[in-house]
Amino acid sequence: MQVMCVKKFDSLTEFKSSGAELVSKGPIALVFAEDETELDTTLRHHQQLGFVQVVCFMPDGFSLPADLLETVVRVRYDMRVDAALETAVNTVISMADKQWMFYCYNAEYLFYPFCETRTVVEMLAYHTEERRDAMLSYVVDLYADDLQSFPDAVSLDRAFIDKSGYYALARPDAANHNHPKERQLDFFGGLRWRFEEHVPMPRRKIDRVSLFRAKAGLKLREDHTFNDEEYNTYACPWHNNLTASVASFRTAKALKRNPGSTFDIKTFTWHNSVPFEWHSRQLLDLGLMETGQWF
């Protein structure tokens, strides 16, 4: 697949004013670098899935290998200083009308059914044919099994996941007397559930609409949902649809770096921990994504 002309932009404003051509063809992956942990593997993973363009939002102080400097669009962006993630995502939405987009943080990896043999372009083409403009994904926590050897809880070779402990609750509609919203659920599990005393209530959900099609007026909200309620549904009214997983070290990393939790956590492993196989089949078998009508 041909990679489009690559540039480096000094700000989000500059990217919006002169980078529209770079996001004129999708699907586009947006990667937000909170730190340098596994940033290179994150970018390469999404390139290998077949994203037409990968855009990395990162501070100047972060470095990338030479091959990624040549193939990744870089936008100077520091979420601790500039603005929140949704500000940048919404800016790109306004630039990339009707294009499919995906967003994640560093040390997060998208998996969808059959991703080992089918590109993200093929998968989204099918999803579009089903008249879907968004895809629900579950953020599945990864963590190293040995925090003495890996104090930041990150290890690709020794990554583990929870094989059970996931559940869903009805999503109340505040505008309709808190009746459940149609085809919307709040999903929980993983480290945010097991160590919930260290996680603020609004951040305990693991559902994220991380794959979606840009359109005029669409806005990503702080809670990883959109202002178009149909985008927040897990399926169409007629049958189940494809869902995806985002395998993520982000929660484990935060729990070990936060002074309020790091000393309370000696290990993340428990009786329901299993090695992560880095394969979509494992996530399908555990019910952490589904194929819908795609076989």
**Across residues 120-140, what is the average pLDDT?**
96
- How many C-beta atoms lie closer than 10 Å to residue 229's C-beta? 13
- How many C-beta atoms lie closer than 10 Å to residue 40's C-beta? 16
Q: For residue 294, count CB atoms less than 10 angstroms from its CB and return exposed for 0-12, middle for 13-18, buried for 19 or more.
A: middle
Q: How high is the pLDDT of residue 289? A: 95
Structural domain total, the chain: 2
User: Which of residues 142 and 295 earns the better pLDDT score?
Assistant: 142
pLDDT in tens, 16-38: 999 999 999 989 999 999 999 99
Q: Whole-model pTM?
A: 0.94
Residues 10 and 127 in one domain: no
Asked if residue 2 has pLDDT above 60, the reply is: no
Tell me which residue range forms the domain holding 263.
107-295
Q: How high is the pLDDT of residue 3? A: 44
Residues 93 and 183 in one domain: no
Residues 198 and 97 in one domain: no
- Per-residue pLDDT band for 82 (boundaries 50, 70, 90) equals low
Rounded CA-CA distance 115/251 in Å is 24
pLDDT in tens, 163-192: 999 999 999 888 888 888 889 888 999 999
- Structure token pair of residue 199: 């996680």
pLDDT in tens, 190-245: 999 999 999 988 889 999 999 999 999 999 998 899 999 999 999 988 888 999 99
Average pLDDT, the chain: 93
Are 138 and 245 spatial neighbours (Cβ–Cβ below 8 Å)?
yes
Q: Of the residues 106, 133, 168, which one is the last residue of a structural domain?
A: 106
Residues 126 and 38 in one domain: no
Q: How high is the pLDDT of residue 168? A: 92
Helix extents (H) in 20-145: 39-49, 66-71, 85-95, 120-129
Residues 114 and 159 in one domain: yes
Residues 31 and 122 in one domain: no
